[in-house]
Amino acid sequence: MAGLDQEAALGELRRDIDRIDASMHQLLMERGRIIDRLIAVKGGTTSTGSAFRPEREASMMRILAERHGGGLPFDAVEGIWRIIISTFTHLQAPFAVHADVSGDATAIRDSARFHFGFLVPLSTHHGPDAVIDAVASSRGDLGLVPISGVSVKPWWQRLEEENAPKAIAHLPFVDRPNHPAAHPVLVIATSFSGEGLSSVALYSVRGLANDSSALAELGGTVLSRQADNGLVALPRDIAPSEVASRLGAASARIIGSHPATTPAGS
């Protein structure tokens, strides 16, 4: 394209971009004006903890993934929405994120920043115990503990106690190959009010058999294991009182739950 024509075409495209940017900014500010009303409606629940609602967020991320098309990478779209949603959650009730960096520190930092952005303060800790302590002594903070297939310590047993923090979400919310923050992470929180058990129930199992056929029959998976102690995911509709006997295990206690991480329809 010749010089002047190119200048004109570029000018037009840039005006388009400026117009779109202005509307996106207006819409974000309009979204921001909803916060005060959200705080008023949630009332008591935000005063006891964070405004983070994993089921709602997981469903928003699924809808986003299903609606998405075209050449814009979904990784970028998801990242933008994670910042929007985390910012709104933080504006409703300030909270911090505590991450266990004793394993792959870079990966867990990437996960924390991808899912919660830079507005939410991030503290790093050495090991799951320190993260659980930080969450337990906070008001609505979230803990991030990476899930590794084999664990040196059965750290999840700390969550068995009635008043201990519980696992409430799994990151990434919607799994897919090559996710930019693919490191599997459990989100731990205290005083989580409200939505009941999410679709994947998490159990601390003691005396877990090596043979995994009983677990497979129930549609469960071992997220992490240390000797015969397991952190086990099972569908929510299995009666918790039956889990230990159906697995032939010594005990099975609920230590939280998380929304399904598969896209709808899959």
Ligand X SMILES: C=C(O[C@@H]1C=C(C(=O)O)C=C[C@H]1O)C(=O)O
Residues that bind ligand X (CB under 6 A): 38, 51-53, 56-57, 85, 88-89, 92
Which SS3 state, helix, strand or coil, does residue 233 take?
A: strand
Task: Report, in Å, the least distance between residue 197 CB and ligand X.
Answer: 18
Choice between 85 and 249, CB closer to ligand X: 85
Question: Cα(260)–Cα(170) distance, rounded to whole angstroms?
Answer: 8
Closest chain position to ligand X (CB): 88
Task: Report, in Å, the least distance between residue 172 CB and ligand X.
Answer: 15
Choice between 55 and 100, CB closer to ligand X: 55
Task: Report, in Å, the least distance between residue 174 CB and ligand X.
Answer: 15
Q: Which amino acid is at 221?
A: T
Choice between 84 and 214, CB closer to ligand X: 84
Task: Tell me how many degrees the CA angle 181-157-188 measures, rounded to the nearest 5.
Answer: 35
Task: Report, in Å, the least distance between residue 67 CB and ligand X.
Answer: 15
199 and 259 Cβ atoms separated by less than 8 Å: yes
The phi, psi pair for 83, rounded to 5°, reads -65, -45
Choice between 116 and 203, CB closer to ligand X: 116
Task: Report, in Å, the least distance between residue 53 CB and ligand X.
Answer: 4
* Strands lying side by side in the sheet with 142-146: 122-125, 97-100, 142-146, 185-189, 166-171, 251-258, 200-206, 229-235, 221-226
Residue 5 burial (CB count, 10 A): 9
Task: Report, in Å, the least distance between residue 58 CB and ligand X.
Answer: 10
E strand or H helix at 85: helix 74-92
Q: Nearest CA to 146 among 127, 160, 161? A: 127
Residue 57 burial (CB count, 10 A): 19
Choice between 45 and 151, CB closer to ligand X: 45
Choice between 65 and 222, CB closer to ligand X: 65
